[in-house]
Amino acid sequence: MSPIARNSALFSIVLFVILAAVAPAGATTRVGNTTVIVRTVTGTLEQKVRTLVVRDDVLQNERIETSLDGASQIVFDDGTRLTLGPHARITLDKFVYDPDPSRGAFFLTLTEGVLRFITGSLAHKAYSITTPNGTIGVRGTDIYIAVRCDNGLCSTSLGSFSGGATITGADGTRTVEAGDFVTVGAGSAGGTVPGSDLRASVLTQVTDMLALVGFAGGITNPATSIGAATPVGSITPVFIFRDPQSVSPTTP
């Protein structure tokens, strides 16, 4: 090998090592961005933790967490809008956006907390939300989910503002349509219990979440029309950072 060829090969190896160190493969795949941040919201990827601000990109495989008084809204590249309440934790397992909706995929894990999920342009079968008590499938939907855990025992509540959804767990598949509500897991004897008191409690959490992210004040909150126990604004919105160009999640 000539000196020139040897030096060229050595340079290529050094460049490869540098690029590999600063840009791990698959570690920074962008899937959407934040449009609302209330108080503290963090993202964790490969054991690296960052504090998120408005218009930050969110990444595939990233774990997003809100503080006890925090909340956030994330808009994904297909138009899906996700609102997270206080003390919530999700993982963005997989997101594939394709101009052909039938080829996309959206896999999300909700470990704890409350979220509102409005589907985007992907095919309905592309969406899958994993919870401690089962997997949720959605169909052109505006749904809300609450996961509660106590001493290692969890329950998952699922309700729909519009459209339909299913939850499949150890006891089979349950279906909710607009206005329906079910709970699976701890406290429900392994089955599904409508539970008007629990429903009111969850709707109150959804109402407070929407108040936190600033969608109160003249904008219809779907939770109030189906049994929320307290009015919008029972939690005072503080330290809200909002993207003025974001689209309100009250519009499907």
Q: Which amino acid is at 169?
A: G
The CA–CA distances, whole Å, from 70 to 1, 7, 16, 132, 190 equal 61, 54, 41, 22, 31
Task: Note the pLDDT of residue 228.
Answer: 46
Task: Summarize the confidence of residues 31-42 as an average pLDDT.
Answer: 94
- The answer to whether residue 182 sits within a structural domain is yes
- The answer to whether residue 6 sits within a structural domain is no
- The answer to whether residue 42 sits within a structural domain is yes
Task: Note the pLDDT of residue 40.
Answer: 95
Task: Note the pLDDT of residue 199.
Answer: 86
> Which segment, 12-16, 111-115, 137-141, is predicted with the most confidence on average?
111-115
Cα 133 to chain centroid distance, Å, stands at: 17
Given a cut of 60, whether residue 201 has pLDDT beyond it is: yes
Look up the CATH number of the domain holding residue 164: 2.60.120.1440
What are the residues facing 181 on neighbouring strands? Answer: 159
pLDDT tens per residue across span 114-135: 999 999 999 999 999 999 999 9
- The answer to whether residue 203 sits within a structural domain is yes
The residue among 249 and 51 whose pLDDT is bigger is: 51
Q: Which of 60-69, 133-142, 159-168, 239-248 has the lowest mean pLDDT?
A: 239-248
Given a cut of 50, whether residue 229 has pLDDT beyond it is: no
* Residue 203 · residue 226 · CB < 8 Å: yes
Which structural domain, as residue segments, surrounds residue 83? 32-242
- The answer to whether residue 214 sits within a structural domain is yes
Going by pLDDT thresholds of 50, 70 and 90, the confidence category of residue 232 is: very low
C-alpha to C-alpha distance for 10 and 215, rounded to whole angstroms: 57
Provide the number of structural domains found in the chain. 1
Task: Note the pLDDT of residue 227.
Answer: 47
pLDDT tens per residue across span 86-121: 999 999 999 998 878 888 999 999 999 999 999 999
The CA–CA distances, whole Å, from 240 to 56, 117, 217 equal 15, 20, 15
- The answer to whether residue 9 sits within a structural domain is no
- The answer to whether residue 20 sits within a structural domain is no
Task: Summarize the confidence of residues 42-63 as an average pLDDT.
Answer: 96
Task: Note the pLDDT of residue 143.
Answer: 95
Going by pLDDT thresholds of 50, 70 and 90, the confidence category of residue 7 is: low
Given a cut of 90, whether residue 19 has pLDDT beyond it is: no
Task: Note the pLDDT of residue 234.
Answer: 36
- The answer to whether residue 168 sits within a structural domain is yes
Task: Note the pLDDT of residue 219.
Answer: 35
Q: Which of 3-12, 49-58, 164-173, 175-184 has the lowest mean pLDDT?
A: 3-12
pLDDT tens per residue across span 56-73: 999 999 999 999 999 999
Q: Which amino acid is at 194?
A: P
Task: Note the pLDDT of residue 98.
Answer: 81
The residue among 27 and 67 whose pLDDT is bigger is: 67
Task: Note the pLDDT of residue 45.
Answer: 95
Going by pLDDT thresholds of 50, 70 and 90, the confidence category of residue 9 is: low
C-alpha to C-alpha distance for 211 and 35, rounded to whole angstroms: 15
Task: Note the pLDDT of residue 243.
Answer: 55
* Residue 27 · residue 62 · CB < 8 Å: no
